[in-house]
Structure 1
């Protein structure tokens, strides 16, 4: 099964790209439906890097969903101006173990109709074995929440965040 999003975000593509690489933004996008806590020894990094990032998740901040590994890679660009982040992670414990397939891709590009905005595309392909059809409505609803939160947060993102000259101002 799959869940798709296609949005135009009110920010520059560079700002959206920096934002999706931020664990803080991941947490903001899911709040308050799901809380995500890092299980890495030093906690969340400032910016996602390729590799495995173990997390624990709770629904509404109180109901354990289990542990999951966010397994990130940044494939080379296939099309000029398109940046992609891929999570091919897996559930480790709890309800997260239901998922036998998880392929989550986010593509960021300049909106062709308004160069100051971002064309944001997201695809989640997943399988939960015999529970796939039962799980799909919940993931679809969660992705609609993500969509609303992304639209809400995007105008606050800056492509200059993290740059020394910007942080010093």
Structure 2
């Protein structure tokens, strides 16, 4: 099992950032350019995440099929002023993908943290290398979204 942790400070109110974490459209926005998630079951994403399991098809670069993933949402208890959402998923190539998003107020905005634990057998080093790039990409896309005042039509 390998763990990756990446953090960034978003120049935005913590309540607003947390509200967007709870929206599946954020996942689609921050992954755009690297991964596309297409809902399988249920057939459409809800407006907001609920404590439930969602199966998605994953496309690398938007067109290369790379299997399916179960997104299993769990709301973790707040720790002080920190909000946490856990996506404890698994997939076709990756038996363990345990991703926690943490949001807390700091001077200058909101500290946003991605922590992911990965186990993919012999593929673990490759998956970890990809995940490092993917989460850095996600955080750059987060900053872009905040700079666009949460306008999801920004590419």
TM-score normalised by L of structure 2: 0.90
Where does residue 5 of structure 1 map in the other structure? Answer: 6
Q: 1:14 and 1:157, CA in 2 relative to 1: closer, same or farther beyond 3 A?
A: farther
Distance 2:123 2:135 in 1: 18
**Cα RMSD over matched residues?**
1.5
Where does residue 102 of structure 2 map in the other structure? Answer: 107
Distance 1:100 1:76 in 2: 25
Segments of 5+ residues of structure 2 without an aligned counterpart are: none
Superposed, 1:1-169 pairs within 5 Å as 1-77=2-78, 79-91=79-91, 97-111=92-106, 113-114=107-108, 117-155=109-147, 156-157=149-150
Distance 2:66 2:50 in 1: 24
Native 8 Å contact 2:73 2:85 kept in 1: yes
User: Cα offset for 1:65?
Assistant: 1.0
Q: How many residues align?
A: 149
Native 8 Å contact 2:39 2:56 kept in 1: yes
Segments of 5+ residues of structure 1 without an aligned counterpart are: 92-96, 159-169
User: Cα offset for 1:41?
Assistant: 3.8
Q: Secondary structure at the match of 1:142?
A: helix
Native 8 Å contact 1:75 1:86 kept in 2: yes
Q: Secondary structure at the match of 2:113?
A: strand
Bigger radius of gyration among the two:
1
Q: 1:102 and 1:42, CA in 2 relative to 1: closer, same or farther beyond 3 A?
A: closer
